[in-house]
Amino acid sequence: MIRNVHIEDAQQLVDIYNYYVLNTIVTFDDVPFTNEDFNEKINTISKSFPFIVFEEDDKILGYAYANKWREKPAYKQTVESTVYLHHEAQGKQIGTKLYTELLAELKNQNYHVIVGGLTLPNDASVKLHEKFGFKQVAHFKEVGFKFNKWLDVGFWQLNL
């Protein structure tokens, strides 16, 4: 089931996210988040943007949300998208289901451009974005440093 996020989901979301913080280059965060950090994230983002979860048997297997792309007023119709899956739930099309719903909500809210920022390499995320018609528009080399190595970041864009 896909539904809007609830504040009570914070612990499950932080557990999903912290796996990536501690074990992967997918996020450049390197300090685990707390439940309070995710409470704040949920409260802040869900006030203005879609923030959804995929739940099965009372367990959250993934989440997706949109957030501000940049601060200036001229960017107000552009958002950045985020999707994370429980590391044991990959390969089950949950990311596809979440992105389908998220993009539909953003289109209904008259957003014009969706931007996805990806640490590279990340074949699964590249495939997910391109499946929905996102096109790569930027590739920044060695802009992040995690786990003692320099990492690239790419940006994919979808015009709704």
- Domain count of the fold of the chain: 1
- 93 token code pair: 């099309």
Confidence (pTM): 0.95
Residues 17 and 52: their CA atoms lie apart, in Å, by 15
Domain that holds residue 150: 2-159
Residues 50 and 55: their CA atoms lie apart, in Å, by 16
Residues 41 and 38: their CA atoms lie apart, in Å, by 5
90 neighbors 124 (Cβ within 8 angstroms)? yes
Q: For the domain that residue 77 is a member of, what is the CATH number?
A: 3.40.630.30
Residues 50 and 108: their CA atoms lie apart, in Å, by 11
| 32 HSE (CA, 13 A, CB side) | 11
34 neighbors 24 (Cβ within 8 angstroms)? no
The neighbouring-strand residues paired with 139 are 154
Total residue length of the chain: 160
pLDDT tens for the chain, 160 residues long, are 999 999 999 999 999 999 999 999 999 999 999 999 999 999 999 999 999 999 999 999 999 999 999 999 999 999 999 999 999 998 899 999 999 999 999 999 999 999 999 999 999 999 999 999 999 999 999 999 999 999 999 999 999 9
